[in-house]
Structure 1
Amino acid sequence: MINALCVAELGTTFPRSAAPYFFMKRSLGSYTAFLNLWVELFGLFIGLAAQSLLVASYLIQPLYALCPPPELPKKCLALAILRSLGLLNIQGLKTVTWFQTLSTLVKVAILCFISITGIVLLVIGKKENVSRFENALDAELPGASQIVEAILQGFYAYGGSTLLVNMAGEVKNPGQTIPRTVLSALSIVTVIYLLTNVSFLTVLTPKEIISSDSVAVTWMDRVFPSMKWVIALGISASMTDSTSCGILTGSRLIYAASQEKQLPMIYSMLNKHLSPAVALIQLIIMSSIAVISSNLINLLKYLGIASWALSVINKIALLKMRYQEPDLQRPYKVWWPLIFISLAISAFLVFMPIIQSPKTELIYQVMFVLGGLLCYLAGVYLKQRSASFEKITCYLQLLFNILLSDDHETCISANKNE
């Protein structure tokens, strides 16, 4: 919540697409903004891959009731889901909005059903349910590195606030809407997820939860065996709204970076639905590569580290902007001690795994982040010799039937006033 409230100031101060990126460039310069873009895009690719794999796991799990589903069909289904949602997003913001509204209603209805059922079983159910819940967390106190790893994976469920700020240019009255949405939505999500986990622990043991790729399906198979297909289809349909939202905001980030001349111009061109089609296609391609090459747990872990690394950079930029431009108009201004608290927590979550239990994969992640410097220098070099890319841009423009808008923020935000 503290982290989300700090990030909300960025979106309300600069109500435009990819507000944190624009804020970073203004506060810490072009290279830092590109490094932020580099890490955030990496997080988006990983996040979309993880979400599509999760949806595929729920869809395919009922076919393999007695064993984990094989990786090949699960990854093929995840790729099909990614590409279908990419095509949906190309149709424009209004189409995506209707889809996300319906899928969110389905998600909340299913989670409320699971939560209420769990409470009923706990209150009036069998003694074994009460006993299972009471003993669910009986274990040794985890170490600091284990706590950090749990938070990094758990934070995945609360990343919607960052996506909202990236869409600040398409939100009505962002100065009031973004802070109110952050407070209300995160509170509702926390309560629903807490009650859902209470329900899971009432029916399943921790070992059963850990070993299951689709916990809700396993829970339903234990409580209402005849309805497990319904719950699998419902959860899969409802979870696609998060994936669709990630695709929507990720394409806006690529679009904004292209407008700031840090990515090729082709990404800032829009189709007839006012959608950055080429940016969407690029996002789907990179996310598909992540689906093919990684498993779900590692994807979530990498996503958490990338998110908190971005959080550290954002808080430093926020403090610098507070000092350098104290008179800048800020419709919403977070209480300054919360910035330092968020900065300290974020730094702890990033560096604790490195200090407590350094692994080879952490070195690879650091090398990847530093690789952003090479890409930035390569981009500067290619920009000076961009004439050779004009023909490629022209052919792509004809292929995808896209145009460069005169006023990109007005054009891409046109739907918010309809």
Structure 2
Amino acid sequence: MANKKQLFEKVKATGTGAHIILQKSIGYFSGLNLLLGIIVGSGIFISPAGVLRYSRLNVGVALSIWAASGVMSMLGALCYTELGTALPSSGGDYYYVKRGLGPFPAFLLLLVDIILCMPVATSIKAITFAEYATKPFYTDCPTPEMVKKVIAMAVVIILTAVNGVTIKGALWVQKIFTILKMQCLVLIAIGGLVEMAKGNTKNLENAFDGEVPTVAQICLAFYQGLFAYGGWNGLNKAEEEVKNTSKNVPRCIITAVPLVIVFYLLVNISYMAVLTPKEMVSSAAVAVTWANKTIGPFSWIIPLSVAISTFGSINGSMFLQARLNYAASKEGHLPAILSMLHINYLTPAPAIIFSSILSIIFIIPSNLSLLMIYSGFASWLMVGLTCISLIVLRFREPNLHRPYKVFLPFAFVMAAASFFLVLSPIIQEPEVEYIYGVLLMLSGFIFYIPFVHFKLKFRIFDRITSYIQLLMEVSPPDSTSESKTH
């Protein structure tokens, strides 16, 4: 008991005397690496088959969707650049919707993001990592599901430890693995160009011949493509840690997103130059199938490179997941324990652990296609409301300092496109998964009214928070010091 009292005094003293705040450790190159590392993950290695499948094996339509997904991501990134430079606070979409549309819609979207979108994205990447990491050991048969799930859970736990102990270490992991993954994309892009130079262009000829997909199928194809571009708004969730926000956020976004668009188009053209549409949609690992046909005995390089790429993307996703939990907790929309920082490492350890637990839960079903649809539906609803918040703030707060201003019609286009992506599949081909997503969002009423609006508290929760605080050696951030950093 005495030890606990001493620890409590240590936490209490540290939380009020020392500066317990998130450090500004992300510069331009760190931010660029973080963005590239998050965007280029599992998507480019698993989405091409899905885009082609929903495009009815129409190569021209599939490539058009990849290009349009890139343009849409760029427009969205520009909208988020304005919001990020005008409102430099961690939390991203959640914080912008709260400022523009109010706390209640922000809370409803927060639930979907922290319980569904972000954990699902991390679990997809973890499963993909396990798929490719084990490929060299299961050359003639699929990897057993149990093996994939155990490895996926293990990598989440390892990166939880890294992110919980050191922010600089997590950023260094991101830098190293981003460089390695970009080398993989360069290899695939060059390999495709070499094959085309040899005259292997049959699969790309008459690209638009074939069946035309329905509107609902096009939306589902967009979900797959946009999932691969997912993460373009990631830096906005960690803005409290970005140095010189007004300069570095726009620079990072405007550099990273166009670079990814170019690489994604080249990689898809490479896949389609080497593989027939039927080979692509029937392959569990498109990049590996491509490698077997092009580089033969050295094909093991590709699954290794994909595993490396996905590992780095998982690290980035977990980094941002924790920041969203941290920001929402500071706003009073999540339990207070999630906004506390470790007194020695200055990391949001409780928020990181909470995110990891949710990600591990979503690894259990391991249905990638279903998880992507689930995630796409919810995440694009948030993008649409964020763009509406931008429009509202332009008119309601015209004097707000905006270091960067996006061409306002871009925000209207993004809002309309986002709601089209959300509503079209529900109307044309309703699935039970969409109902679950809506129910999850509406369940926010149950928690918001008593616990957020009326601030209902129970002593037992305070005791639990104190016990966890003692156990994890975490303290509330120093709000005085934090405000000075802005």
Return the TM-score normalized by structure 1: 0.93
Q: Which of these residues, 374, 396, 401, is aligned with residue 329 of structure 1? A: 401
Q: Measured at CA, do residues 99 and 251 of structure 1 come closer, stay the same or move farther in structure 2, by a change above 3 Å?
A: same
Q: Measured at CA, do residues 144 and 202 of structure 1 come closer, stay the same or move farther in structure 2, by a change above 3 Å?
A: same
Cα offset, 1:284, TM superposition: 0.5
Kept in 1, the 8 Å contact 2:149–2:366? The answer is no
What is the aligned partner in structure 2 of residue 192 from structure 1? 263
What is the aligned partner in structure 2 of residue 45 from structure 1? 119
The alignment status of 1:15 with 2:88, answered yes or no, reads: yes
What is the aligned partner in structure 1 of residue 76 from structure 2? 3
The alignment status of 1:365 with 2:437, answered yes or no, reads: yes
1:6 partner amino acid: C
Q: How far does the alpha carbon of each residue in 1:118-158 deviate from its partner, in whole angstroms, 9 at most, with x for none? A: 101111x2x5x222332666421111111110111111121
The alignment status of 1:54 with 2:128, answered yes or no, reads: yes
What is the aligned partner in structure 1 of residue 356 from structure 2? 284
1:203 partner amino acid: V
The alignment status of 1:68 with 2:142, answered yes or no, reads: yes
Kept in 2, the 8 Å contact 1:17–1:409? The answer is no
Structure 2: how far apart are the matches of 1:101 and 1:343? 33
2:129 partner amino acid: V
DSSP 3-state at the match of 2:346: coil
Stretch moving more, 224-233 or 294-303? 224-233
Cα offset, 1:225, TM superposition: 2.6
DSSP 3-state at the match of 2:189: helix
1:367 partner amino acid: L
Structure 2: how far apart are the matches of 1:95 and 1:55? 21
Q: How far does the alpha carbon of each residue in 1:289-317 deviate from its partner, in whole angstroms, 9 at most, with x for none? A: 11102411111111111111001211221
Q: How far does the alpha carbon of each residue in 1:318-364 deviate from its partner, in whole angstroms, 9 at most, with x for none? A: 12111111111111111111111111111111111012111222222
What is the aligned partner in structure 1 of residue 345 from structure 2? 273
Structure 1: how far apart are the matches of 2:195 and 2:365? 41
Q: Which of these residues, 88, 97, 109, is aligned with residue 183 of structure 2? A: 109
Cα offset, 1:211, TM superposition: 1.9
Structure 2: how far apart are the matches of 1:386 and 1:274? 28
Q: Percent identity?
A: 40
Stretch moving more, 295-304 or 358-367? 358-367
Q: Measured at CA, do residues 6 and 337 of structure 1 come closer, stay the same or move farther in structure 2, by a change above 3 Å?
A: same
Structure 1: how far apart are the matches of 2:355 and 2:401? 34
Q: Which of these residues, 14, 22, 27, is aligned with residue 100 of structure 2? A: 27
Kept in 1, the 8 Å contact 2:92–2:233? The answer is no
Structure 2: how far apart are the matches of 1:398 and 1:99? 29
Q: Measured at CA, do residues 409 and 156 of structure 1 come closer, stay the same or move farther in structure 2, by a change above 3 Å?
A: farther
Q: How far does the alpha carbon of each residue in 1:39-97 deviate from its partner, in whole angstroms, 9 at most, with x for none? A: 22121011111111111111122333333322221111111111111111112221111
Structure 2: how far apart are the matches of 1:91 and 1:157? 29
Q: How far does the alpha carbon of each residue in 1:342-399 deviate from its partner, in whole angstroms, 9 at most, with x for none? A: 1111111111101211122222221122112223235348942232222211111121
2:334 partner amino acid: L
Gaps of 5+ in 2: 1-73
Structure 2: how far apart are the matches of 1:411 and 1:290? 36
What is the aligned partner in structure 1 of residue 281 from structure 2? 210
Tell me the matched-pair count.
411
Structure 1: how far apart are the matches of 2:372 and 2:204? 26
Structure 1: how far apart are the matches of 2:159 and 2:283? 26
Cα offset, 1:254, TM superposition: 0.5
Kept in 2, the 8 Å contact 1:266–1:278? The answer is yes
Kept in 1, the 8 Å contact 2:135–2:143? The answer is yes
The alignment status of 1:256 with 2:327, answered yes or no, reads: yes
Kept in 2, the 8 Å contact 1:258–1:268? The answer is yes
1:117 partner amino acid: G
What is the aligned partner in structure 2 of residue 176 from structure 1? 247
Kept in 2, the 8 Å contact 1:405–1:411? The answer is no
DSSP 3-state at the match of 2:284: coil
Q: Which of these residues, 374, 381, 388, is aligned with residue 309 of structure 1? A: 381
2:386 partner amino acid: N
Find runs of 4+ consecutive structure 1 residues off by over 6 angstroms: 411-414
What is the aligned partner in structure 2 of residue 90 from structure 1? 164
Structure 1: how far apart are the matches of 2:380 and 2:398? 26
1:64 partner amino acid: Y
Structure 2: how far apart are the matches of 1:132 and 1:65? 26
Q: Measured at CA, do residues 18 and 266 of structure 1 come closer, stay the same or move farther in structure 2, by a change above 3 Å?
A: same
Cα offset, 1:413, TM superposition: 7.5
Structure 2: how far apart are the matches of 1:200 and 1:216? 8
Q: How far does the alpha carbon of each residue in 1:253-303 deviate from its partner, in whole angstroms, 9 at most, with x for none? A: 111111111111111111121111111111000111111024111111111
2:180 partner amino acid: V
Cα offset, 1:24, TM superposition: 2.0
Structure 1: how far apart are the matches of 2:420 and 2:413? 11
Q: Measured at CA, do residues 138 and 256 of structure 1 come closer, stay the same or move farther in structure 2, by a change above 3 Å?
A: same
Any residues of structure 2 matched to 1:156-175 within 5 Å, and which? Answer: 156-175=227-246
Structure 2: how far apart are the matches of 1:79 and 1:136? 40
What is the aligned partner in structure 2 of residue 146 from structure 1? 217
Cα offset, 1:171, TM superposition: 1.4
CA root-mean-square deviation:
2.0
Stretch moving more, 312-321 or 58-67? 58-67
Kept in 2, the 8 Å contact 1:49–1:288? The answer is yes
